[in-house]
Structure 1
Amino acid sequence: MKHALSVSLLMLVLTGCSLMPDYERPVSPVASSWLQSEADDAAIDNAMIPTPSWHSFFHEPQLRDLIAVALENNRDLRVAALNAQATRALYRVQRAERLPSVSAEAGGSRTRTPYDFNGTTQNGITSQYSATLGVAWELDLFGRVGSLQQQALEEYLATEAAQQSVKISLIASVANTYLLWQADSALLQATRDTLDTFEDSLRLTQRSFDVGIASSLELTQARTAVETARSSLAAYTRRVGEDRNALDLLLGQHVPVSPAKQPQQGTSVLSALPIGLSSDVLLQRPDILQAEYQLRGASANIGAARAAFFPSISLTANAGSASGQLSGLFDSGSEYWNFSPSISLPIFSAGRLQANLDYAELIRDVRIAEYDRAIQIGFSEVADGLAARQTYVDQVAAQQSLLDASEDYFQIAERRYRSGVDSYLTLLDAQRQLFSARQQLITDRLNQTTSEVDLFRALGGGWSNQAE
């Protein structure tokens, strides 16, 4: 019975107790699921469906290669990784505080004392040599050290989540910048084609003007169309260069390729994302995980602030050997030891301990608000992405139909102008409408693909990606 009681007391001393408040995840401040369109109602499944990793989400090989280069060379991601490693080192430092520290020391000294000091007629020389093994340990009876260790662990996990968030944002940024570069290159090519068409019309109008068929107004209109197209050509050339420079910055090196052509209607460089998701999937977003880890760390810090009100007990012991001669340092009878436990009890601190506790509790409340806000932002981003899914599909299809009709209109207007049935103003209107329709279709396809990338990022970049 006595043996069992002794073991129980020893375990109590070793483990202590914890004054950390029990952690409870705050109630989610958003709806349980997103609003679905009528087309999605039949496919609703509130199970947590994992989204694909970025390797399988992006179909285009060139884009996958660029993302891989960015993940290898991007400086922001490298800083995030180093920050995570630094925080992990701090956690290891704090974890070591729960274990006894053992140190070994060896030293020696020789002292000459003048005879005036030792009361003799000769100077004195004394020698002292020692070898000591020391142990120091703070008994964590009230969980102060354990709370600080837990707080350090949560901070480390928060930086890991922050690193994952930077990674997902980098993938989305590379994809969106590449898609913008692809779209601007398509707009540049469309402008070149349109400029060629306007220049052909200008030459035709110039010949008609020279023989007295076309008026000076029609010739001026043709010249205006050509110069407008040239201005657009310069603008899109500049934008393509800026897109490439932005991609160079994300990749951390020069982009060695040219963008592939923008896919036609019905094809996509992206995989289809799941629909009908429960809002619980937001809890897997790295930024929300980071906010929750910070909240848990703030709760652990409250435990450390509470434990500061209670006594702290430290055990210090030293044992070794000492001798006046180096040769006799380890001889029999030279051993010595010292055991000095200490206890420290705060009596008066002018309210410092209570202020620290109040501060820790307020920081916990701040972290709760930040956690709620992170969930609300995530919910809003996913809701926007889901709302854009079908609308962009319909918009691109309608714009494609408009482009087909504009091409027919231009061909008819060109034939009628060449045969003298209609004026140049009708042909110019058809040319401008065709150019505008091509521009808008390229822009709509860009918006459709970037909205899918943004939805991929809003869903946390894929749970299989986190598992990797």
Structure 2
Amino acid sequence: MMGAKFSLSAMAMALILAGCSLAPKYEQPMAPVAPQFDHQDPATIEQDMSKLDALGWRDFFADPRLQALIELALLNNRDLRMAVDRIEEARAQYGIAQSDQFPTFGAGGAGQVTRSPSDLRAGGPEAPAISRFFQAGVGITAFELDFFGRVRNLSEAAYQQYLATEQAQRTVRINVVAQVAEAYFRWRSAQQMVDLMQSTLASRERTYRLVNRLFEVGTASALERHQAQVQLDTVRADIQAMQRAQMQAYNALTLLVGTQLPQDLPEPAVFGKEQIVVDIPVGLPSSLLVRRPDILAAEHQLKAAYANIGAARAAFFPNISITGLFGFASPSLSALFDSGRTYWQYSPQITMPLFSGGVKGGLDLAKARQNIAISNYEKAIQVAFKEVADALAGEATYTEQLNALRDMEHAAAESLRLANLRYETGIDSFLQVQTAEINLYAAQQRFVQTGMESLLNRVMLYKALGGGWQLDNTY
């Protein structure tokens, strides 16, 4: 009776110890950023917070051709495929670590036949020369009794690494969507620029023909004809450079999509600001903590560091493991499973660190990695805040900049019209026409370039806010 009580007490103590964990309690670090973004209207914050969860990338990018390209990229992009495979790799590693918390059982059998010389036989020279031993049963490998939570904390660390890998896959997905949109807008912008240059080339050719005619009748100088030729050749060279940029943008887009672009893509939307949703909800910086997958991944890495400290602390305490076998044994194979052939054995083992310099070094290493993980988490928040703030600064200024450039383009076009009239009537020299052509050409190029930059700024805002949340949270 006393032995039964002792066994129950020992079992209860083992269960209590098995519930122990030496890992420090996790506390989420304070976000080292301001509570609100600059260039943010406080009156719209509450409304933005309600819109965040409803906005997906299909709502964000309105161009039907771009939507089709993003869908293709999400199916074929190789970076995204590798990210999915890394999730499977992390899941398998977690499964291995988790299995160490449970004993491993196996069934097997063995046989041994030995012939011994007469002077080495256990029963003397008259004993049989050949001895036989057969065994079969179920065994348990060396299983660590996790009294101090070492194995459990290692399993928790592997689980958090797995969750971090899942968030890394979301990051790759968001990056793929943003990169496809950026490459697409660069491609469309290059097309717009080529169209602009083609129309400018036609205008320059008309101007050159006019100046050449005037030169032939003696009312224009050779200098003016050469100036017109320079203007014409400048645009011809620019067209070749822009066509090269257009082809390179197409190649970059093909790489991101992961397959050749189909011929039956939907018709694109008119190139302009309407290709991306105008009213982009932002919310508060605190919302980034649960929206940005890179921040979530950094937090899972931090939780893994906490668990690793628990495993390192457990290494200071005894390590207890047990190996056992239950089955049947017999000198005859035919009688192996007869009654009375029960065979069992168990072998507990305990090891205790005496000189713990290496163990202490392991704990110091785990603590240092925890501090690194905290700093990495805080930096991820700061980077996210900076990226959103930069994009909001762009949203606050690009509209007025484009309006000013549009007015400048209209003024430059009118200046060129008046300069041509004054030149044709002999009031001014061709220098005025040349200057007006240069100014208009530069204004038109700058308008297209700035328009593309404003679109890319919205793509950056999409990425900085954690993607199109409605669909980007699925795999």
What amino acid is aligned across from residue 412 of structure 1 in structure 2? Answer: L
Distance 2:434 2:48 in 1: 55
SS state of the match for residue 368, structure 1? helix
SS state of the match for residue 341, structure 1? strand
* Matching residue of 2:88: 85
Q: Which moved more, 1:398-407 or 1:361-370?
A: 398-407
What amino acid is aligned across from residue 321 of structure 2 in structure 1? Answer: S
Contact 1:48 1:280 (8 Å CA) reproduced: no
Distance 1:13 1:44 in 2: 49
Q: Runs of 5+ in structure 1 lacking a partner?
A: none
Distance 1:310 1:120 in 2: 52
Contact 1:185 1:240 (8 Å CA) reproduced: yes
Distance 1:200 1:138 in 2: 89
Q: Number of aligned residue pairs: give it.
A: 462
What amino acid is aligned across from residue 297 of structure 1 in structure 2? Answer: A
* Matching residue of 2:196: 190
Please give the TM-score of this superposition, normalised by the length of structure 2: 0.91
* Matching residue of 1:134: 139
* Matching residue of 1:232: 238
Specify whether residues 122 and 24 from structure 1 end up closer, same or farther in structure 2 by C-alpha distance, changes over 3 A only. closer
Distance 1:261 1:218 in 2: 43
Could you give the per-residue CA deviations for residues 408-463 of structure 1, whole angstroms, max 9, x where no partner exists?
A: 33333333433444332222222222221211111111011100000110011133
Distance 1:326 1:177 in 2: 74
- Measured after TM superposition, the shift of residue 285 of structure 1 is 0.7
Specify whether residues 129 and 15 from structure 1 end up closer, same or farther in structure 2 by C-alpha distance, changes over 3 A only. same
What amino acid is aligned across from residue 341 of structure 1 in structure 2? Answer: P
Contact 2:412 2:439 (8 Å CA) reproduced: yes
* Matching residue of 1:282: 288
The answer to whether residue 171 in structure 2 is matched with residue 165 in structure 1 is yes
- Measured after TM superposition, the shift of residue 9 of structure 1 is 1.3
Distance 1:288 1:253 in 2: 31
The answer to whether residue 302 in structure 2 is matched with residue 299 in structure 1 is no
- Measured after TM superposition, the shift of residue 116 of structure 1 is 6.6
Specify whether residues 55 and 103 from structure 1 end up closer, same or farther in structure 2 by C-alpha distance, changes over 3 A only. same
Distance 2:257 2:367 in 1: 42
* Matching residue of 2:44: 43
SS state of the match for residue 337, structure 2? coil
Q: CA RMSD in A?
A: 2.5
The answer to whether residue 211 in structure 2 is matched with residue 205 in structure 1 is yes
Distance 1:377 1:116 in 2: 82
Contact 2:64 2:269 (8 Å CA) reproduced: no
- Measured after TM superposition, the shift of residue 252 of structure 1 is 1.7
- Measured after TM superposition, the shift of residue 13 of structure 1 is 4.7
What amino acid is aligned across from residue 403 of structure 1 in structure 2? Answer: E
Q: Which moved more, 1:408-417 or 1:229-238?
A: 408-417
- Measured after TM superposition, the shift of residue 379 of structure 1 is 0.6
Distance 2:48 2:210 in 1: 64
Specify whether residues 111 and 89 from structure 1 end up closer, same or farther in structure 2 by C-alpha distance, changes over 3 A only. same
Specify whether residues 446 and 260 from structure 1 end up closer, same or farther in structure 2 by C-alpha distance, changes over 3 A only. farther
Q: Which moved more, 1:298-307 or 1:137-146?
A: 137-146
Q: Runs of 5+ in structure 2 lacking a partner?
A: none
Distance 1:164 1:348 in 2: 45
5 Å-filtered alignment, 1:349-388, equals 349=356, 351-388=357-394
Distance 1:189 1:262 in 2: 16
Contact 1:182 1:260 (8 Å CA) reproduced: no
Aligned sequence identity (%)? 40
* Matching residue of 1:72: 75
Could you give the per-residue CA deviations for residues 47-97 of structure 1, whole angstroms, max 9, x where no partner exists?
A: 744162212211011111111111111111212211121111010111111
Contact 2:94 2:155 (8 Å CA) reproduced: yes
Distance 2:241 2:354 in 1: 74
Could you give the per-residue CA deviations for residues 289-337 of structure 1, whole angstroms, max 9, x where no partner exists?
A: 1111111100100000111111222233211111222211111121111
Specify whether residues 264 and 461 from structure 1 end up closer, same or farther in structure 2 by C-alpha distance, changes over 3 A only. closer
Paired residue for 1:339, among 341, 346, 354? 346
Contact 2:64 2:266 (8 Å CA) reproduced: no
Contact 1:46 1:278 (8 Å CA) reproduced: no
Specify whether residues 47 and 27 from structure 1 end up closer, same or farther in structure 2 by C-alpha distance, changes over 3 A only. farther
Q: Which moved more, 1:132-141 or 1:118-127?
A: 118-127
The answer to whether residue 446 in structure 2 is matched with residue 446 in structure 1 is no
Paired residue for 1:152, among 132, 152, 158? 158
Contact 1:19 1:143 (8 Å CA) reproduced: yes
Paired residue for 1:417, among 419, 423, 428? 423
Paired residue for 1:62, among 48, 60, 65? 65
What amino acid is aligned across from residue 132 of structure 1 in structure 2? Answer: G
Specify whether residues 243 and 265 from structure 1 end up closer, same or farther in structure 2 by C-alpha distance, changes over 3 A only. closer
- Measured after TM superposition, the shift of residue 126 of structure 1 is 2.9
Could you give the per-residue CA deviations for residues 270-297 of structure 1, whole angstroms, max 9, x where no partner exists?
A: 353114x211022121111111111110
Contact 2:178 2:463 (8 Å CA) reproduced: yes
